[in-house]
């Protein structure tokens, strides 16, 4: 079992450290390998052209319109775990809070 996990992780291409710069294919890779969704649902993100910048700003409602509820919830938790793509913003409950003096709630 452990060797299977190692073999899978060693075959993964390294993602750029800043999610904001991810391509559509990077988002698909992350969704499958890190967020744990299946390739069919990850392909739905590709069809919608969700790159890293769009991923970091997506709302629950927008995500829910692309994938089933359970998948959307799993993705939102994983997006929150990314910490906002290098600190330029953070995702909280599907609302992007940008750094700066004025934040809309």
pLDDT score for 23: 98
User: Residue 53: which of 103, 102, 105, 98 has the closest Cα?
Assistant: 98
Per residue in 31-79, pLDDT (tens digit) is 999 999 999 999 999 999 999 999 999 999 999 999 999 999 999 999 9
pLDDT score for 84: 54
Residues in Cβ contact with 40 at an 8 Å cutoff, skipping those fewer than 6 apart = none
pLDDT score for 10: 43
Q: Where are the alpha helices (DSSP H) in the chain?
A: 2-11, 24-33, 39-47, 52-57, 60-64, 69-81, 83-86
Per residue in 77-90, pLDDT (tens digit) is 999 999 753 333 33
pLDDT score for 12: 57
What is the gyration radius of the CA atoms in the chain, in angstroms?
A: 14
Q: Which pTM value belongs to this model?
A: 0.69
pLDDT score for 61: 95
């Amino acid at each position: 079992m452990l060797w299977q996990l190692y073999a899978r992780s060693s075959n993964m291409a390294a993602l750029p450290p800043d999610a904001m710069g991810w391509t559509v294919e990077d988002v698909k890779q992350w969704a499958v390998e890190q967020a744990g969704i299946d390739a069919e649902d990850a392909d739905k993100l590709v069809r919608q052209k969700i790159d890293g910048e769009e991923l970091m700003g997506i709302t629950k409602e927008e995500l829910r319109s692309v994938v089933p509820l359970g998948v959307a919830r799993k993705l939102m938790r994983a997006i929150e775990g990314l910490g906002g793509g290098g600190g330029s913003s953070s995702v909280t409950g599907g609302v992007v809070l940008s750094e700066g003096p004025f934040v809309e709630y």
